[in-house]
Amino acid sequence: MTKHLLVLQLRCPQCGACLTEGTQVLLDAHVQDTHQDGTVRLSAVFGEYTCETDLKLPEGAIVEFRCPHCDASVMIPSTCKVCKAPMVSLNLDQGGYVEFCSRRGCKGHALGGIGNIDDLMSLMNRMLDTPFD
């Protein structure tokens, strides 16, 4: 049995630039604890939490993310329901948005921008390329 991967196609909410490259999301980052700036590659596969970077990124560190194209912050004023760290928001190509926690190691995330369950199911069917939309 093959596992069907859901690769999220993500865009900057400010300039609309595509941030997904293959199965990774490329973002600029600032690590608050160590005052480092650099690039972070997060997995674009929904439910996978891998991260590639040259930055020293200890477990629990909070990272401020920016668009590598327009340098705008992609942080939002809401906090993670799991750990209370600031949240990050990126737009989905198929509509809506995905939010994720900025704390290294936290798995808090959500799909948003969906008004009702029928719209959410329609979005998921489009993302999975199923014939049920």
What tens digit of pLDDT does each residue of 71-95 get? 999 999 999 999 999 999 999 887 8
What stretches in the chain show pLDDT beneath 70? 1-5, 111-133
pLDDT of residue 2: 43
Q: Where are the alpha helices (DSSP H) in the chain?
A: 117-128
pLDDT of residue 131: 62
Alpha carbon distance 83, 12 (integer Å): 24
Domain boundaries, the chain: 10-128
Helix (H) or strand (E) holding 99: strand 97-101
Non-local (6+) Cβ contacts of 59 within 8 A are: 104, 105
Non-local (6+) Cβ contacts of 36 within 8 A are: 30, 55, 56
User: By C-alpha distance, which of 3, 2, 38, 41 is closest to 22?
Assistant: 41
